[in-house]
Structure formats: structure tokens, C-alpha cells
Amino acid sequence: MYNITIIAGARPNFMKIAPIIHAIQKAKSEGFAMDFRLVHTGQHYDKNMSGSFFDQLQIPEPHVNLECSGGSHAEQTANIMVSFEQELLANPANLVLVVGDVTSTMACALVAQKLHTKVAHVEGGIRSDDWTMPEEINRLVTDSITNYFFTTSDTANKNLRESGVNDDQIFFVGNTMIDTLFKQRPNFIKPQVWTDLGLSEKAYIVMTLHRPANVDEEAQLKHMIDEIIANTNNLPLVFPVHPRTAKILKGLNISHPRLHMVEPLSYLEFNYLVERAKAVITDSGGITEEASMLRVPCLTLRDNTERPETITLGTNELVGTNPKNIKPYLNKLFEGNWKSGNEIPLWDGHTAERIVDVLKRFIPNC
Ligand code: UD1
């Protein structure tokens, strides 16, 4: 039996692992000698940051939850490493599969490689080249000890080749997050906030902010929100607030009749809102991918992106972190000059099948 330990820790991981698990289950039912063990590190633990994703995306109960939440990045990394080392020693695997760029991704890759277990990284090779982002450090460390890279873009392939990775370690398969998006699109759920606020199609904006660069500095966060409010043509702003951001906002007392701060939404509710929005304003990487594929204009409040194809092919524009940049981009949106977006190679809903086709080749005597 070829045993794959799959790691999930934080919200953006769950939509990436769901289709891989389903594809492994299918391969297993067809007689392929592969199985998986799902390890939740517990990095995210709230029902609306974690539990609801398992329910909605039909992800099976994790075999184990390491319950490593909270603490500084160093504490979180260390706690996950100590717990995952015990887990992997007790339940050895042929392969540890990590996804994305969160702390759990890096911590578990390190443990696996030190126990001489091969590592596969789904979404390997993407780079923002911004070393102030914790995610970029996680990507660099993870990719420096990964054996098999499942990539989302040709840029990622190029980055990996330039850093000395051999072609036979790189598998350009597409984007598992988009597998989930396409599969779940017919199941999106109208959230309560839609009815409560009397929202209508293309007549509101969704915003999310959680990057330390934007939210950890009170003045920066306030300035950004003020600029957004001032330049959104009387449209309601629906703002599902990440726990990190909520902590900072508490002290800021920001309020405006058009600004509607709500709890983080479940996957199916959030994407219902995105699909029908006039635009999305965000600092998340994953949301730029989803908005692009749903053909919704996306304004990214960051100075860089590790996902350039969302700009060259998708509906995303890099607004930057200077709040003064927000107005011209919103003007462009309201003038009706936003790009409508194109398809992105291999973001077609079949990425997980391609990943599992590669994994089948790893089964001994297959
Ligand atoms: C993490 C990821 C980031 C991802 C984001 C999505 C890293 C370095 N960052 O950032 O890439 O885009 O998740 O959500 O891994 N908290 C709760 N409830 C939860 C989860 C977190 O209250 O369910 C609190 C934590 O206690 C902490 C804060 O939110 O105080 C931040 O959580 P943390 O996991 O450290 O990083 P994120 O900012 O969520």
C-alpha cells in the first residue's frame, strides 16, 4: 500500500485538499493500492475558519488533530513540528503531501524530510519575492526540501527550474482550488447577510483584509477602509472579518452606514457573494484566483503577487498598499473599464485527477 499523509492546517488549505482526497478515494475504489491519512494541525480551529469547510466540501474527519493553534510564528512552527514528528513516527507514510504556504505547510515538510519521508508540495514554486511575508518564507523553505512539485502555472515551473529543481520533479497540473470552485459553484448558498442587507446582483462590494502588512498597523488599516468607503459610489460594502483583523478593528471604532462587518463566512456563502459582487477588494491570494475564474473584478491591496496569471489573464489588478492608490482603481471600475478575464491554462476543474495520476506512478509494481 502506498500511504500518503495529507496535511491541512489553515482555512486556505481546505479547498485545496478536498479534491485530492476525493480523487485518492476514487483511485482506491478502483483498486489502486493507495491510501491516505489526513492530519489537521489545528492551526485554524474556529467553526467558521475550519469546521464548516470540512462539512461543506465533504472532507472526511481528520484521522488526527494536532491542536497546535495560536502563539507566535516560531511557537506555532515548533509546536506543529513536535506534534507532527510523533504522529509520523507512529504512522509512517511513503509520502507527505502539503499544500499552499501556511505555517503548517512548512513545519510538516521539515519534519517529513528529516524522517526521510518524501515530500510533495501542491502549489509549489510560486513566489512573491517579498521576504516580509510569512507565506513567502514558508514557500521558500518548503520548496527547498520538496521532492515533487505540483504546480499551478508556468511561472512556478520557471521559478523552480531557476532555483535548480530538475524537470522530472515538476508536474504542471493546474489549480486544485479551482477544482473545488467549479465543483461547488452550483451549490453556493445565499448567506443571511444577503437578505438582511437587501443585496442585489452587481450592486455591492465584498472586501477581505488579513495580511499583517495591512491590518497590524492601525493607521494603515483605518486609512484603507476610509478610502474604500469614500470611493465606492454608495454601494454597500460587505466585509467578512478575519479573526486577526477583528482584534485590531476592535480598538479602532470604525463605523459607517455602508460598511457591514460580518463574521467569516463559510466557503459556499462567501463564494455566493463573490460571484454576484460588483467587485472584490482583498489582500488574499486565493481570492484573486477565485474572483478571476468567476470573472469578477478584483482589486488586490498588495504591492506584489505570487499569482501573476491572475493579472495577466484573470480579472485581478495590483492596487498596492498605499491607500491613495485605491481611488483611481475604483474610478476605473465604475467607469466600466475593467478587464473581463480569460481562461488560465489547466485551471479546468481536473487538477486533482492529474495529481493522483502522477501518484499512481509512485505505487511500487504499478
Ligand atoms: C493564516 C496564514 C495565511 C492565510 C490565512 C487565512 C500563515 C503564516 N498564514 O494567517 O497565509 O491566508 O491563515 O486565514 O500560516 N485565529 C482565530 N481562529 C481561528 C484561526 C486563527 O481566532 O480559527 C486567530 C489566531 O489565534 C491568531 C490570528 O487569528 O491570533 C491569526 O491566526 P494565524 O493562524 O496565526 O494566521 P492567519 O493570520 O490566520
2-175+347-360, CATH topology level: Rossmann fold (3.40.50)
Residue 32 CA, ligand 1 centroid: distance in Å: 36
Amino acid identity at 259: L
* pLDDT (0 to 100) of residue 366: 52
Ligand 1 center from residue 10 Cα (angstroms): 7
Q: Domain 186-334 belongs to what topology? A: Rossmann fold (3.40.50)
Q: What is the mean pLDDT of residues 243-261?
A: 92
Beta strands at 2-8 and 95-99: parallel, antiparallel or unpaired? parallel
Q: Are 242 and 248 in contact (CB under 8 A)?
A: no
3-state secondary structure of 295: coil
Ligand 1: nearest atom to the Cα of 48: 23
Helices (H), 175-278: 176-184, 192-197, 212-215, 218-230, 243-250, 267-276
* Average pLDDT of the segment spanning 118-133: 98
- Which tens digits make up the pLDDT trace of 146-155? 999 999 999 9
Confidence of residue 253 (pLDDT cuts 50, 70, 90): confident
Model pTM score: 0.96
49 in contact with ligand 1, CB cutoff 6 A: yes
Q: Is residue 212 lining ligand 1, measured as CB closer than 6 Å?
A: no
- The full set of domain ranges for the chain reads 2-175+347-360, 186-334
Percent of all residues in the chain with a pLDDT value above 90, rounded to a whole number: 97
pLDDT at residue 201 greater than cutoff 70: yes
The backbone torsions φ and ψ at residue 220, rounded to the nearest 5 degrees and listed phi first, read -60, -45
Number of C-beta neighbours around residue 223 at 10 A: 15
Q: Is the pLDDT of residue 364 over 90?
A: no
pLDDT at 365: 65
